[in-house]
Amino acid sequence: MVKPTLGYWNFRGMAEPIRYLLHYKKVDFEDKQYTFGTEDWQKEEFELGLDFPHLPYYIDGDVKLTQSIAILRHLARKYELDGKNDQDRHKIFMVEQQSADFWISLRSVVMCNDYEIIKKEFLENIPAHFRYFEEFLRNKDYLIGKDITYVDFMVFESLDFYTTFHGTALDDFPVLKAYLGKMKSLPELQLYLKSNKRKFEPVPPRPKFEATGPQLIFKKSVTP
């Protein structure tokens, strides 16, 4: 039997929540990573039978999907990670979009030319968004209750990305900080998180990471 294939660039990006979900459910899949900035993807882009050729893509037999959230929704339904009822799903859809907006805004900050200016403004405004998640998670094990759903993997990646960008970001948000620790400690993810398959960089190589003691921050690379 041919393995399902997840195709994306060779960094975390929009595919990482999908990887988390697949590893969590112990799916045997090919994690096909194209070298960013090369013609690797262009050579195959129109040869895979995708209706809308993009990265990430997910191919499993006759199922051929692009767009990260479409892939997550498909996998969540297949592996019963999409809530128990309509009330759950209404909340899931809200969290899905809130998380996607947050991830995109953070990516925009670290990729922009006016990085230092935009970073300062972003750091001033982000606590208000964290407060919403802090209250939403209060007295819950996971975002929708006692059971993990696919949006937990989205929010996990957003929070992990953000704390890589700004190491003390969650110090004033104990519920979120504990939640991030819980997600990082999921037994099903340990093999992947500790492997060399898991990339450090959440975004393309333009930003680079620089260690300063216990905190990790972004600095723009000289690479255009």
Domain boundaries 5-80, corresponding CATH code = 1.20.1050.130
Domains 5-80 and 86-186 agree in fold: yes
- pLDDT (average), residues 184-194: 97
pLDDT band at 221 (very low <50, low <70, confident <90, very high): very low
- Report domain extents, the chain: 5-80, 86-186
Q: Which residues contact 86 (CB under 8 A, 6 or more apart)?
A: none
- Classify domain 86-186 at the CATH topology level: Glutathione S-transferase Yfyf (Class Pi); Chain A, domain 2 (1.20.1050)
| Residue 117: predicted pLDDT | 76
What confidence tens digit (pLDDT) does each residue in 130-163 have? 999 999 999 999 999 999 999 999 999 999 988 8
What confidence tens digit (pLDDT) does each residue in 197-217 have? 898 777 665 544 443 322 333
